Chains A and B, each alone.
Chain A
């Protein structure tokens, strides 16, 4: 029948049309971006960012994205880098790995950026790395996992750098504290996600060497409502201290539960709780909690001679006046990344290999997370000296804990 045949043809016509629409939608800017070769078209330098400004990781990502925008504006007001304006192409990866991969491809292939900053959570960052390594684009990751810059499988990390303190920096600080306080039998509790488990792995590796023993090791869900069931087992193990490795919300629930079931041992937590929300959520139970963190949290107590102090004050004031929001250490990772990159571009121009070399030679850059000293073997450049132990006092304020 002729009618059917036409119907059929229409179907495929529609399909074909749809393909064209995708072509139009995704390839729209292809024409204009193709005019300039490389990211330095028309006296500007294109930098891309792939950050989880929405979705589950947005409590971290939002501050990162805002910080990068703020710094880029600042740099451009001062006339850009080496006379060239920075054009920031910021893509929200929505806490989704596929979005992060697509965004990275878009930045590399379509926008042809000179460098990329981003990867708020480790999973996204790890998915981005094979792409940037293949394309040969300087990449500064904001994610914490040790795998980002120092992978177990020894896959290449020539172009990948990291500005967040990894577990390999934070856990030694924790161990050092435990040793100093003479806490040998501890309970270890971590949130069941990559943040918690990679912290756990690093802890297991180091604890033995320092004679610290985990008498019980448990996980809790990021969506935990009540951890008292798990804690009944922890209580039985009679630890001298409890270590909780998680981020604000779930850690707050567990911290409250510890006090509620009547345990009064010291509670030590991770740098993931360094937000006011933790104190708000945990209430009085937060008092006395100790955790390693960047110096930003205890800015007022820092010695004026501390090399970071000036930078920290400047960042905090600029960010908080612009966004009416508390500056976070996560925003700090972004601050360090964009500044390290800017310095490298200053030295290396628009040449990607030269920028990469310049980043690798970063030595003594004083940033928010610490003083960076990178090398061919160390693409992070931070040590545990960049951290302090912070204690939440009886008024729910952050105080230096050592």
Chain B
């Protein structure tokens, strides 16, 4: 039973994907610029959380320090392009090399240990890296922040508007997800899924677990670093407080909300997290006009706990189930034309 469910999730069908991409292409032309920047942020988070989803769903590990990799990318790009005037791609590559190396160094000793130990190590590592961002003032500008990061430029093409940046980020996110999917569907990926079940079993069939875990961890660090680099170019001003342990936890929260059983869960989590925050900002003042942001914090905490208690697998599978039930009442044909219907349902309930 478990097996059929798994194969159900990982089989490739690109029909829906094309529809989704079509929606992504249309959105910026109907959305205003504010929404566009929200979506850019969602996309950046999505790149980080996709890596984390792989790590959690397919290697059974969590990281409490991915904001540090995100920060490494951001500062690498800031310093390379801002201080030394190098092309944007150099910043990204330096960040990737740095983040990857650090991930290898942390991963090797901890991944052979019990299940939580990577989490503990990444928590510590995250705080150490944060201290370096803060204290290496000559390079990072310390707590005053790093100003004047130029906009991203790739081989002469400047991504200097939100629209261009939006397409860059989301194209990258989709490529990242598909790349992860390929890994998951490969022999490596099947091995990874096997370790999520049992280390011993995987060992007995001759799968080198540690190496696969390490690869996934490094890849997730690289995703975070690339996202960080692009973030730095997008906001043009960064400071160490953007890369604290709390930010790492935020990334993890997104993954858990989305659910790590499916590679799209990371992106869904990022979307829902940002959506929920924006929604709370609109809704809470309607009911409690005189309270400040703290009420939203309380709500957010409680909602988070509730989601996890009632949907421990995250939103992705639960939403899938709900949809199946809704569609199940109709005949097969209706289910096949599902996607446009879904828009109608959600859109309808909203208005």
Instruction: Please tell me whether chains A and B touch each other in their complex, using a CB distance cut-off of 8 A.
Output: yes
Tell me the A residues contacting B by CB distance below 8 Å. Answer: 1-28, 30, 53-55, 58, 62, 65, 91-92, 94, 97-98, 101-102, 105-106, 108-110, 122-123, 126-127, 129-130, 145, 147, 151-153, 155, 192-194, 196-198, 201
Contact yes or no, B17 A23, CB < 8 A? no
Which of B57-65, B214-222, B304-312, B343-351 contacts its partner? Answer: B343-351
Contact yes or no, A12 B38, CB < 8 A? no
Give a binary string over B142-159; 1 marks a CB under 8 Å from any A CB, 0 the rest: 111101100000000000
Give a binary string over B16-43; 1 marks a CB under 8 Å from any A CB, 0 the rest: 1101100110010011111101110110
Contact yes or no, B147 A22, CB < 8 A? no
Q: B35: which A residues are within 8 A, CB to CB? A: 22-23, 26-27, 110
Q: B292: which A residues are within 8 A, CB to CB? A: 53-54, 58, 62, 65, 92
Q: A152: which B residues are within 8 A, CB to CB? A: 147
Distance (Å) between the CB of A20 and the closest chain B CB? 6
Which 8 interchain pairs have the tightest Cβ spacing? A12-B16, A54-B293, A13-B342, A109-B33, A13-B339, A8-B13, A92-B293, A17-B346
Add 11 more A-B contacts to A10-B339, A18-B272, A123-B145 (CB < 8 A): A1-B11, A7-B320, A9-B338, A13-B341, A15-B267, A20-B347, A22-B278, A27-B31, A108-B34, A194-B143, A194-B239
Contact yes or no, A9 B34, CB < 8 A? no
Contact yes or no, B38 A22, CB < 8 A? yes
Contact yes or no, B275 A13, CB < 8 A? no
The number of chain B residues touching the other chain, given as a range, is 35 or more
Tell me, in angstroms, the Cα distance from A109 to B13 when the chains sit together. Answer: 38
Q: B272: which A residues are within 8 A, CB to CB? A: 18
Instruction: Name the one of A65, A102, A126 contacting B237, with C-beta atoms under 8 angstroms.
Output: A126
B350 and chain A: residue at smallest CB distance: A24
Contact yes or no, B346 A21, CB < 8 A? yes
With A23-B31, A25-B278 already in contact, the answer to whether A16 and B343 are too (CB < 8 A) is: yes
Instruction: Name the one of A108, A130, A194 contacting B236, with C-beta atoms under 8 angstroms.
Output: A130
Residues of A contacting B: mostly? helix
Residue B134 lies at the interface, judged by CB distance under 8 Å to chain A = yes
Tell me, in angstroms, the Cα distance from A12 to B342 when the chains sit together. Answer: 10
Q: B20: which A residues are within 8 A, CB to CB? A: 12, 15-16
In the complex, 19 of the A-B residue pairs with CB atoms within 8 angstroms, ordered by the A residue number, are A4-B11, A7-B8, A10-B324, A10-B327, A10-B339, A12-B16, A12-B339, A15-B20, A16-B343, A17-B343, A19-B271, A22-B278, A24-B347, A27-B34, A53-B292, A54-B297, A122-B144, A130-B237, A153-B147
Tell me, in angstroms, the Cα distance from A18 to B294 when the chains sit together. Answer: 26
Distance (Å) between the CB of A53 and the closest chain B CB? 5
Contact yes or no, A98 B242, CB < 8 A? yes
Q: B274: which A residues are within 8 A, CB to CB? A: 22
Q: A19: which B residues are within 8 A, CB to CB? A: 23-24, 27, 271
Distance (Å) between the CB of B160 and the closest chain A CB? 10
Contact yes or no, B38 A11, CB < 8 A? no
Q: A108: which B residues are within 8 A, CB to CB? A: 33-34
Which residues 111-140 of B have a CB within 8 angstroms of A?
134, 137
Tell me, in angstroms, the Cα distance from A6 to B15 when the chains sit together. Answer: 10
Contact yes or no, B237 A127, CB < 8 A? yes
Q: A1: which B residues are within 8 A, CB to CB? A: 8, 11
Contact yes or no, A9 B15, CB < 8 A? yes
Q: A193: which B residues are within 8 A, CB to CB? A: 143
B44 and chain A: residue at smallest CB distance: A98
Contact yes or no, B41 A102, CB < 8 A? yes
Distance (Å) between the CB of A301 and the closest chain B CB? 34
Residue B262 lies at the interface, judged by CB distance under 8 Å to chain A = yes
Which of A101, A123, A196, A201 has the largest number of chain B CB atoms within 10 A?
Answer: A123
Q: A194: which B residues are within 8 A, CB to CB? A: 142-145, 239
Which of B15, B316, B342 has the largest number of chain A CB atoms within 10 A?
Answer: B342
Tell me, in angstroms, the Cα distance from A152 to B33 when the chains sit together. Answer: 30
Distance (Å) between the CB of A154 and the closest chain B CB? 9
Residue B179 lies at the interface, judged by CB distance under 8 Å to chain A = no
Residue B268 lies at the interface, judged by CB distance under 8 Å to chain A = yes
Q: B19: which A residues are within 8 A, CB to CB? A: 12-13, 16
Q: B299: which A residues are within 8 A, CB to CB? A: none
Q: B42: which A residues are within 8 A, CB to CB? A: 22
Residue B335 lies at the interface, judged by CB distance under 8 Å to chain A = yes
Residue B235 lies at the interface, judged by CB distance under 8 Å to chain A = yes
Residue B7 lies at the interface, judged by CB distance under 8 Å to chain A = yes
Contact yes or no, B38 A102, CB < 8 A? yes
Residue B303 lies at the interface, judged by CB distance under 8 Å to chain A = no
B337 and chain A: residue at smallest CB distance: A9
B239 and chain A: residue at smallest CB distance: A123
Tell me, in angstroms, the Cα distance from A23 to B35 when the chains sit together. Answer: 7
Instruction: Name the one of B41, B323, B340 contacting A10, with C-beta atoms under 8 angstroms.
Output: B323
Contact yes or no, A102 B34, CB < 8 A? yes
Contact yes or no, A16 B293, CB < 8 A? no
Tell me, in angstroms, the Cα distance from A294 to B267 when the chains sit together. Answer: 49
Tell me, in angstroms, the Cα distance from A273 to B153 when the chains sit together. Answer: 45
Tell me, in angstroms, the Cα distance from A75 to B239 when the chains sit together. Answer: 37
Contact yes or no, A6 B37, CB < 8 A? no
Tell me, in angstroms, the Cα distance from A92 to B324 when the chains sit together. Answer: 39
Tell me, in angstroms, the Cα distance from A86 to B147 when the chains sit together. Answer: 34
Distance (Å) between the CB of A145 and the closest chain B CB? 7
With A14-B342, A105-B37, A130-B237 already in contact, the answer to whether A198 and B8 are too (CB < 8 A) is: no
Q: A18: which B residues are within 8 A, CB to CB? A: 268, 271-272, 275, 346
Distance (Å) between the CB of A116 and the closest chain B CB? 14
Distance (Å) between the CB of B176 and the closest chain A CB? 15
B148 and chain A: residue at smallest CB distance: A153
A107 and chain B: residue at smallest CB distance: B34
Tell me, in angstroms, the Cα distance from A3 to B292 when the chains sit together. Answer: 48
Distance (Å) between the CB of A4 and the closest chain B CB? 5
Tell me, in angstroms, the Cα distance from A45 to B345 when the chains sit together. Answer: 38
Distance (Å) between the CB of B117 and the closest chain A CB? 26
Distance (Å) between the CB of A13 and the closest chain B CB? 4
Q: A23: which B residues are within 8 A, CB to CB? A: 27, 30-31, 35
Distance (Å) between the CB of A131 and the closest chain B CB? 9
Tell me, in angstroms, the Cα distance from A58 to B332 when the chains sit together. Answer: 55
With A24-B347, A147-B147 already in contact, the answer to whether A54 and B237 are too (CB < 8 A) is: no
Which of A8, A62, A155 has the largest number of chain B CB atoms within 10 A?
Answer: A8
Instruction: Name the one of A3, A94, A97, A102 contacting B239, with C-beta atoms under 8 angstroms.
Output: A97
Q: B319: which A residues are within 8 A, CB to CB? A: 14
Contact yes or no, B144 A20, CB < 8 A? no
Q: B30: which A residues are within 8 A, CB to CB? A: 23
B345 and chain A: residue at smallest CB distance: A17
Instruction: Name the one of A2, A26, A153 contacting B38, with C-beta atoms under 8 angstroms.
Output: A26
Residue B279 lies at the interface, judged by CB distance under 8 Å to chain A = yes
Q: A105: which B residues are within 8 A, CB to CB? A: 33-34, 37
Residue B264 lies at the interface, judged by CB distance under 8 Å to chain A = yes
Contact yes or no, A197 B323, CB < 8 A? no
